[in-house]
Amino acid sequence: METTVDVTDGTIGGYLAEPQSEVAGPGPWPGVVVVHDVFGLTRDTRLITERFATAGFVALAPDLYSRGGLVRCVRSVFRSMMAGSGRAFDDLEATRRALAERDDCTGRVGIVGFCLGGGFALVAASGEFDASAPYYGQLPADRSVLDDACPVVASFGGKDPTLKGAAEQLEGELAARGIPHDVKEYPQARHSFANQLPLGPLNLLARVSGFGYDHEASEDSWRRVLAFFGEHLR
């Protein structure tokens, strides 16, 4: 359902999905913050949020573009991600707290993000989250931000032209720090392989450019993420 999240300078929009006890079992349940991709809080992000709820997580997707024009918001959010700090990270922490403080949440909260959101999820792993699942996220330029990272389950596409070698690099960084992790690259998959992009007739162009949904890779990554979150959040 549509909701709002209290943040430091007011409120932002969001989408909340709650488990049903007859499906997920009795609560309280762990929480998951879902960070949208560059397209914002789309139908795809809402469906992903609902899927986490079906799996037994209280899931909340904040709208990082809540504060005005799309172009201005995209620029602001990108700057925050590249800097590893700023208002977008404050919004994510506020969303984590909102989940953790709910009566139907155990207080343990993970974060999952896609594309732009994957970059946020990876950097935010060094904050207060208990597990992180970045999907094809940009690795931080300053690798030291991973020093205190929570457990990470990461997914990349082997045919993603934007992140060549990222899976191997992240695997090495996490292994060197002794951080529990599961990093997998799907050889046949492209960027955004777990997202149903709202591109309409541009989908063919997106696939040629190295973007596009891949059902097999997406479903395998869901199994891995849910198992990993089950281990580290429950």
Whole-prediction pTM value?
A: 0.91
Report d(CA 219, CA 189) in Å as an integer. 12
pLDDT (tens digit per residue) in 79-91: 666 666 678 889 9
pLDDT of residue 197: 76
Which parts of the chain have pLDDT scores under 50? Answer: 201-202, 204-205, 208
State the CATH class of domain 2-233: alpha beta
pLDDT of residue 202: 44
Report d(CA 102, CA 214) in Å as an integer. 35
The domain ranges of the chain are: 2-233
How many CA atoms lie less than 13 Å away from 168 in the CB half-sphere?
4
Secondary structure (DSSP) of 144-161: GGGTTPPPEEEEEETT-T
Dihedral angle at the C-alpha atoms of 96, 102, 107, 108, nearest 10 degrees? -50
pLDDT of residue 5: 96
pLDDT of residue 160: 95
